[in-house]
Amino acid sequence: MAITDQERQALIDLANEARKRAYAPYSNYQVGAALRTKSGRIFTGVNVENAAYPHTMCAERVAIFKAVSEGETEFEVIAVATNNGGSPCGGCRQVMAEFGLDTIVLIADGDGHLKKEMTLSELLPEAFTPKHLL
């Protein structure tokens, strides 16, 4: 699957726009995500923190769960934006792996600059996936 520069930047911009709505009163580390499904639909997500820290939800998982709740389970690309271009956490990588290791992951900073682009299989080598349960 190829993604154009314009499509790449549009997803990064959507992730950064979503990031402004993050609820991060404890870490002040706002994260936004924009996920495009194979059908072309786009779902955004933000991190939502909680005073009971383990109950915090990451932006990537919010976007994925929104997509799944709308019947979408085949993903093409996800853009993740943080102020400093931080990478998805291990939990988010595992959730993304559930839906396909060929998903393109775009990591961007708060100024909208692409920092890294890779497939999920590159981001999470030797991932545990549903096929391991057979």
| Residues annotated as part of the active site | 60
* C-alpha span between 28 and 18 (Å, rounded): 15
56: tokens are 């915090």
State the Cα–Cα distance between residues 108 and 86, nearest whole angstrom.
Answer: 8
